[in-house]
Amino acid sequence: GQQVMQIPQYQHVQEGEDFTTYCNSSTTLSNIQWYKQRPGGHPVFLIQLVKSGEVKKQKRLTFQFGEAKKNSSLHITATQTTDVGTYFCAGPHAGGTSYGKLTFGQGTILTVHP
């Protein structure tokens, strides 16, 4: 079945440093989504990328979707303590009875030291 892998598993940064997490899928994705989960919280949708090579920005966050639509990245510039949490990528199956099923990566846990 489809697998979605994320690296790194953990990232510790000093406040102000940049952070990047990478996501790779074993299959081509129709789109990819990113979620953030604060400690003790639930996943919250951040963004969806649909087009090959797409780049989207949300303030200090930059999201990229690979040309082959099998990988993606999230980059945070100048991290702040509010960025702490686990960042998940998720890819939906396309077609068949599994359409709409989200397969999540294992997440990257980000800690930010003030």
Partner 1 sequence: EAGVVQSPRYKIIEKKQPVAFWCNPISGHNTLYWYLQNLGQGPELLIRYENEEAVDDSQLPKDRFSAERLKGVDSTLKIQPAELGDSAVYLCASSLDGIRAFFGQGTRLTVV
Q: Which DSSP category does 74 fall into?
A: E
| Residue among 86, 88, 75 at smallest CA distance from 111 | 86
Q: How far is the CB of 89 from partner 1 (least distance, A)?
A: 9
Of the two residues 14 and 97, which places its CB atom closer to partner 1 in the complex?
Answer: 97
H or E element: which one contains 49?
strand 44-49
Closer to partner 1 by Cβ: residue 30 or 81: 30
Tokens at 54, concatenated: 């797409």
Residue 98 CB, shortest distance to partner 1, in Å, is 6
CB of 16 to partner 1, least distance (A): 27
CA 76, 4, 20 angle in degrees (round to 5)? 15
Instruction: Name which of 41 and 53 has its Cβ closer to partner 1.
Output: 41
> CB of 78: closest distance to partner 1 in angstroms?
26
Nearer to partner 1, 4 or 112 (CB): 4
Question: Within a 10 A sphere around the Cβ of 15, how many other Cβ atoms?
Answer: 12
Name the site residues for partner 1 (rule: CB under 8 A): 4, 31, 33, 41-45, 48, 88, 90, 92, 97-107, 109
Looking at residue 55, the DSSP 8-state letter turns out to be: E
